[in-house]
């Protein structure tokens, strides 16, 4: 009879009730974890495929937007304005750099970039051209997309790479010195760049950082 259920004692009823409560909590905890994991995966996939329009509405500084609208001509104009007072004056090097700036880029896949392990920096400024040696770098996929980081050398760029079209990608990040903490875009040392493939051996990024211009040349 119903009253017999009371006969089992308060402790057993309490334990049975607690067990049902914990079973319910565990069931909904598992469901919540599945929902969170699914949402995280969807967000990661969406972000990794995100295309960043060249618009100040997307958070880019106006001068960075101007640079990304035509980085090849910007770089070529700097070189064409070099005079006799530049501290580097060697025609063969200028011809090589000009060839890198010609926009005849090839189709490029994100997966290709993960095979690039070395980068050198070629600075173009009012004084002339200065080319550094190769340093270690890495392109990796993380939960937020394709991430680039220079791993050695004194001047280190880091940030995310976004698809623009089949043959161009945009870099949006920051620059630090030596082992200083990594930074992001929207600070004083923000960096933007246009990345493209010239050949199976030449991957080029044209960069703008605080009115300074330089080329990053990548190799496997």
| Percentage of the chain exceeding pLDDT 70 | 68
* C-alpha span between 194 and 203 (Å, rounded): 11
Of 48, 66, 84, which closes a domain?
48
Q: Write the CB contacts of 105 (distance below 8 Å, at least 6 apart in sequence).
A: 167, 168, 196, 197, 198
Task: Give the model's pLDDT for residue 36.
Answer: 40
Tokens linked to 29: 């905890």
Instruction: Give residue-wise pLDDT tens across range 163-201.
Output: 999 999 999 999 988 888 888 887 778 999 999 999 888
Do 8 and 113 lie in one domain? The reply is no
- CATH code of 136's domain: 2.40.128
Pairing between β-strand 190-197 and β-strand 145-150 as defined by DSSP bridges? unpaired
Inter-helix orientation angle 71-80/62-69, to 10°: 90
Do 195 and 150 lie in one domain? The reply is yes
Domain that holds residue 94: 56-219
Do 143 and 176 lie in one domain? The reply is yes
Task: Give the model's pLDDT for residue 50.
Answer: 42
Local confidence band at 84 (pLDDT 50, 70, 90 cut-offs): low
Q: Per-residue pLDDT for 211 more than 90?
A: no
Do 94 and 152 lie in one domain? The reply is yes
* C-alpha span between 119 and 219 (Å, rounded): 6
Do 63 and 165 lie in one domain? The reply is yes
Do 113 and 174 lie in one domain? The reply is yes
Local confidence band at 57 (pLDDT 50, 70, 90 cut-offs): very low
Among 7-11, 91-95, 103-107, 169-173, which is the least confidently predicted range? Answer: 7-11
Instruction: Give residue-wise pLDDT tens across range 11-46.
Output: 444 455 555 545 555 555 544 444 344 333 333 333
Do 89 and 187 lie in one domain? The reply is yes
Local confidence band at 126 (pLDDT 50, 70, 90 cut-offs): low
Do 84 and 181 lie in one domain? The reply is yes
Number of independent structural domains in the chain: 2
How far from the centroid of its chain's Cα atoms is residue 155's Cα? 16
Instruction: Give residue-wise pLDDT tens across range 41-54.
Output: 333 333 333 445 44
Pairing between β-strand 145-150 and β-strand 203-209 as defined by DSSP bridges? unpaired
Are 204 and 196 a contacting pair, CB within 8 Å? Answer: yes
Do 37 and 75 lie in one domain? The reply is no
How far from the centroid of its chain's Cα atoms is residue 35's Cα? 27
Do 94 and 38 lie in one domain? The reply is no
Local confidence band at 4 (pLDDT 50, 70, 90 cut-offs): very low
Q: What is the pTM of this model?
A: 0.71
* C-alpha span between 219 and 104 (Å, rounded): 18
Local confidence band at 131 (pLDDT 50, 70, 90 cut-offs): confident
Task: Give the model's pLDDT for residue 111.
Answer: 92
Computed over every residue of the chain, the mean pLDDT equals 76
Do 32 and 94 lie in one domain? The reply is no
Nearest residue to 208 (alpha-carbon basis) of 182, 179, 174: 174
Do 43 and 90 lie in one domain? The reply is no
């Amino acid at each position: 009879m119903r009253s017999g259920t009371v006969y089992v004692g308060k402790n057993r009823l309490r334990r049975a009730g607690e067990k049902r409560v914990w079973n319910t909590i565990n069931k909904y905890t598992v469901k919540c974890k599945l929902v969170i994991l699914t949402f995280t995966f969807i967000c990661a996939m969406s972000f990794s495929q995100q295309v960043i329009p060249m618009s100040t509405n997307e958070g880019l500084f106006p001068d960075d937007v101007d640079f990304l609208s035509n980085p090849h001509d910007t770089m070529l104009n700097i070189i064409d304005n070099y005079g006799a007072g530049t501290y580097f004056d060697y025609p063969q090097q200028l011809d090589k750099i000009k060839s890198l700036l010609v926009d005849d880029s090839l189709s490029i896949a994100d997966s290709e970039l993960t095979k690039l392990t070395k980068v050198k920096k070629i600075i173009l400024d009012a004084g002339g051209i200065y080319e550094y040696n190769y340093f270690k770098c890495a392109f990796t996929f993380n939960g937020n997309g394709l991430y680039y980081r220079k791993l050695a050398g004194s001047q280190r760029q880091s940030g995310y790479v976004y698809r623009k079209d089949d043959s161009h990608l945009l870099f949006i990040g920051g620059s630090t010195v030596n082992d200083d903490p990594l930074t992001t875009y929207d600070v004083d040392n923000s960096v933007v760049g246009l990345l493209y493939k010239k050949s199976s051996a030449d991957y080029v990024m044209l960069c703008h950082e605080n009115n300074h211009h330089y080329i990053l040349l990548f190799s496997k």
